[in-house]
Structure 1
Amino acid sequence: MQICSAREIAAFVQDGDTIVIGGCGWGLATPEALLEAIEQRFLSTGHPKNLFIVNALSIGDGDKRGLNRFAHKGMLRGIVTSHFVSTPSLRKLVFQNKLEAYCLPAGVIQQLIREIGAGRPGLITHTGLGTFVDPRQTGGKCNEASKHELVELLHLHGREYLRYRPFKIDLALICGSVADTKGNLSLDHEAVTLDFLSLAMAAHNSGGHCFAQVRNIVQTRSLPARSVAVPGVLVDALVETPDQTIAYDTPYSPALSGDIKPSHPRVQNEPSEVARKVIARRAAEELTENASANIGFGIPSGIHFTEQRQHLAQQICMSCEHGHYNGQFLGDALYGAALGSESLLSSLDQFDFYNGGGLDIAFLGMNEVDRHGNVNLSTVNGKIVGPGSFIDISQNARKLVFCGLLTGMETQVDFRNDKLRVIRNGSHPKFVQQTDHITFNAINARKIGQEVLYVTERAVFQLGPNGLVLTEVAPGIKPKRDVLAHIGFACKVDVQHKMPEHIFNAL
């Protein structure tokens, strides 16, 4: 086993290489020292150039780290990822048509890499059908520079599937907590497990190489066998980085890695804004005992802090796509990490669970909703940001609760004298005639029998046989004046009752 410096690894990278990169979010389990060394070599020499990078959950700090390190003219020819939220430097190049860019569901990317490692003919799945990654729409292409067909439609036994095509991998760059001198790598002290075994296997079995960055290297046979996540046969070289953090600017923490349980739970408070509080409480009404649930980020995250959530905390199984179960899921720079998890799977195993229908209910955000009930969460103002794990989750959960403000972020309401009153409507209504992108396909949802709700601060809609149906309004809200006048299409009204009164208590 070679033990190298990050600069030596960077010197090994060739022009035109296809590189799969481990890590996610704001530097969780990310081989940042290797990415930095590759960037510095390019800035000094102009090589390696024309790289093609693949990363499932995206890595970045909104500035210069993570995948942002590849956003130099000539360094990159293309990218496959699930979103560009934390990589504005790359997003700018995508908008300018200066590189090929493909956005695919995060779980699909991880599962495809596993199929590549196993030598199978790509990934065949229903996930993505009817959405923008379907080849009958954009095939996941983000701009005019993206010419390759990564996805094709198949018909098997009378059913439609998508086949995501395999590709050759030259390098895998991964991160670990510790490795022994034979390259056996452990992730025991990381906040996530992700998909590192499949990345290493895909590179190795493609005839490529796998390089791992670790916090420290120990003697062979000193690691417990069950702690080894990636066997040494798949690792070609190690880089020891003693100051490696568990996430950007976050040092190793045994509470984040699951080595200890926090002695006291973090103080959790409901959102301060009345509108967000109402949405979270109404959405949480859909929780039931023994449900397997996923709660997305943004407005849905407020559900974690509602009384209903606390009441059912011991009777439901909460999970996130990064692999955590029943932990205190964190946000912002630590999104993807959790405190006090009961268990931690690899994200790849978690996506398999979701893909097979393991979720009873999912609470997700919504950028736009159209008259059919389709949801767009992958573009903002017509520009791609990507779906992340949204498609993997929304297409496979048995029940969906989309959460959002009826007229956008500037919406303001208050509750007085037992009535909700609209103080200000936002300038960017979410309910439109036609969505820019289809990230959730309502027609497919009806075909497979998904129950779908759309919860706002003043009204609740359901997905009916022919589109949206207005089914609930808040006390004091007039359907025609306060709801229908602010959506971009005619909508069936079947208001049999108001939103539950108790969710408005102590607002």
Structure 2
Amino acid sequence: MVPDGATVAITGAGGGVIEPEAVFAALEQRFLSETLPRDLTLVHALGVGDRQQRGTNAFAHPTMVRRVVGGHWTWSPEMTRLAADEEIEAYVLPGGVISLLLREIGARRPGLITTTGLGTFVDPRQSGGRANASAKDALVERVEFDGQEYLRYRPFRVDVGIVRGTAIDPNGNVTLRGEAAQLDALAVAQAAKASGGIVLAQVQRRLDTPLNPRDVQLPRFLLDAVAVVPEQRQTYLGAHDPALCGDAPAPPYEPAPAASPVRRLIARRAAEEVRTGDVMNLGFGISSEVVDVLAEQDRLGEVTTCIEQGHTGGTPLSGDMFGVCSGAEITVPSTTQFDFFASGLLDATYLGMAEVDASGSVNVSRIGGGIIGPGGFIDISQSARRVVFCGQFTAKGTRMTVADGALRIDREGEVGKFVQAVDEVTFSGPQALARGQEVLYVTERAVFRLVPDGVELIEIAPGISVDRDVLPHMGFIPIVRDPRVMDPALFTTSTR
């Protein structure tokens, strides 16, 4: 049912969240035995896989795919290799943009018109989302309405949508009631049907009685074929967890042990920016530890946490299960969540940073020349009123000691993260200033703030010298007025 040259849109997220794994495996097996289908275009909003073999790795064969449009790539090392070797046309767009564009295609509207991506690498005045030399087509253009600048992400035909649910009822309706998220399954199905294409679904079981109409997420008129896969698992964790689908409360939250004292120090300082009543988003990596700090301080009840996969409240899982939430208060499709973010819902977001430059711009989407992709980073960082970036000051070999209310640098890292110009703009400092956002950059030894004149050093760690430990390791000279000393109480452990 999947022909050569088809554009295939899929749903799913890392950790096996609503991943139609059996359908992917069947497509891969068919290709390996028949070398069919060929020359596919694969579209996915979020990263799908386990960083090894699962997820979009099933499509990562030369000649099986011709083009990939993805929001996040690191879950599929084989696909990133194909892109690096110019064996496919590689495009990277914001994860929320891809989901919302599929919804617009499903309504037969003229693409997605939004400010999301202005001033970043997806802006056509930069790379337009082209991630390698083989990617030549323009998927996005700049437009203007009433004197306001926007980006128009162009619609395309979707020949096949591949989605997943929990169960199918006798009428042919599918529910996602037992899944760990809804993501953009409905948008994927709508886009395919509006294009005259087909929708293939995977479910875990059949029901003997019709669903409650409020539990139908994929109506029968959107579906063309449904595979019943009894061994379907809720996530890569395996066993069904009722707390992940809202059928049970979350167990009492237990903060994860700190991966390192330096990471926890950064998270503690970032947590100082949290205000009572905040609606806040947490990103991947060090920034995700902010929730652990809030739990340690018994402050989680003071805020509302939201993640792009559609969850509000509850306990977000971390690591490769980031995007799954135990005991969520609210779960909506990721398309709806991105709409909420765009509406100004977020008071603050806490995100990672790979590079920061003299303009305050941040790169997380291309590191060392390799494709990473932003996921929902661009959609979120442009929408929050306050943005707190979290990361170490240098990388690769840095060794530090946190002890006795101070920080000591034992060995400096080989790679400076504060550079003259980032390799790729995932967050635009100038655009943030124009939007009136408050932006901080929190590291273990210094805290910086985005101001109209550039990046200002506003705090320095106790035990750290600006002239010895900060300025020599930056690719630009920040504004230095009168930086204060970070609170020594943050530096409370002697573990390396």
Q: Same fold (TM over 0.5)?
A: yes
Q: After the TM superposition, which residues 180-219 of structure 1 pair with which residues of structure 2 at under 5 Å, given as runs? A: 180-219=169-208
Residue aligning to 1:9: none
Secondary structure, aligned partner of 1:314: helix
Secondary structure, aligned partner of 1:311: coil
Q: After the TM superposition, which residues 396-411 of structure 1 pair with which residues of structure 2 at under 5 Å, given as runs? A: 396-411=383-398
Residue aligning to 1:479: 466
1:447 aligns to 2:434 (yes or no): yes
2:244 is aligned, of 253, 256, 272, to 256
TM-score w.r.t. the length of structure 1 is: 0.95
1:79 aligns to 2:81 (yes or no): no
Shift of the 415–249 alpha-carbon distance from structure 1 to 2, 3 Å rule, reads closer
Residue aligning to 1:109: 98
Residue aligning to 1:46: 35
1:238 aligns to 2:226 (yes or no): yes
Q: After the TM superposition, which residues 460-475 of structure 1 pair with which residues of structure 2 at under 5 Å, given as runs? A: 460-475=447-462
Distance 2:319 2:403 in 1: 33
- Shift of the alpha carbon at 1:309? 6.6
Residue aligning to 2:132: 143
Distance 1:312 1:288 in 2: 10
Gaps of 5+ in 1: 1-11
1:129 aligns to 2:118 (yes or no): yes
2:327 is aligned, of 340, 357, 362, to 340
Distance 2:385 2:257 in 1: 27
Asked if the contact 1:47/1:75 (under 8 Å) is kept, the reply is yes
Counterpart code for 2:217? A
1:22 aligns to 2:11 (yes or no): yes
Q: State the Cα deviation string for residues 209-245 of structure 1 (Å, max 9, x = none).
A: 11111001123x5211111011111111111100100
1:292 is aligned, of 264, 279, 284, to 279
Asked if the contact 2:46/2:71 (under 8 Å) is kept, the reply is yes
Asked if the contact 2:267/2:293 (under 8 Å) is kept, the reply is yes
Secondary structure, aligned partner of 2:269: helix
TM-score w.r.t. the length of structure 2 is: 0.97
Residue aligning to 1:171: 160
Q: State the Cα deviation string for residues 4-53 of structure 1 (Å, max 9, x = none).
A: xxxxxxxx111001111111112210111111111111111111100111
1:424 aligns to 2:414 (yes or no): no
Residue aligning to 1:4: none
1:350 is aligned, of 316, 337, 341, to 337
Distance 1:416 1:72 in 2: 50
Asked if the contact 1:378/1:437 (under 8 Å) is kept, the reply is yes
Shift of the 64–418 alpha-carbon distance from structure 1 to 2, 3 Å rule, reads closer
Residue aligning to 1:98: 87
Q: Paired residues, what number? A: 494
Secondary structure, aligned partner of 2:301: coil
Asked if the contact 2:168/2:207 (under 8 Å) is kept, the reply is yes
Computed over aligned residues only, the root mean square deviation of the Cα atoms, in angstroms, reads 1.4
Residue aligning to 2:400: 413
Shift of the 71–403 alpha-carbon distance from structure 1 to 2, 3 Å rule, reads same
Gaps of 5+ in 2: none
Asked if the contact 2:244/2:328 (under 8 Å) is kept, the reply is no
Residue aligning to 2:477: 490
Percent of residue pairs bearing the same amino acid type: 46
Asked if the contact 2:294/2:300 (under 8 Å) is kept, the reply is no
Secondary structure, aligned partner of 1:86: coil
Counterpart code for 1:152? E
Counterpart code for 1:67? T
- Shift of the alpha carbon at 1:425? 1.4
Greater mean deviation of Cα atoms: 35-44 or 310-319? 310-319
Counterpart code for 1:63? Q
Distance 1:277 1:35 in 2: 39
- Shift of the alpha carbon at 1:383? 2.0
Asked if the contact 1:183/1:236 (under 8 Å) is kept, the reply is no
Residue aligning to 1:8: none
Counterpart code for 1:87? S
Secondary structure, aligned partner of 2:74: coil
Residue aligning to 1:6: none
- Shift of the alpha carbon at 1:496? 4.0
Distance 1:398 1:237 in 2: 44
1:302 aligns to 2:289 (yes or no): yes
- Shift of the alpha carbon at 1:307? 4.7
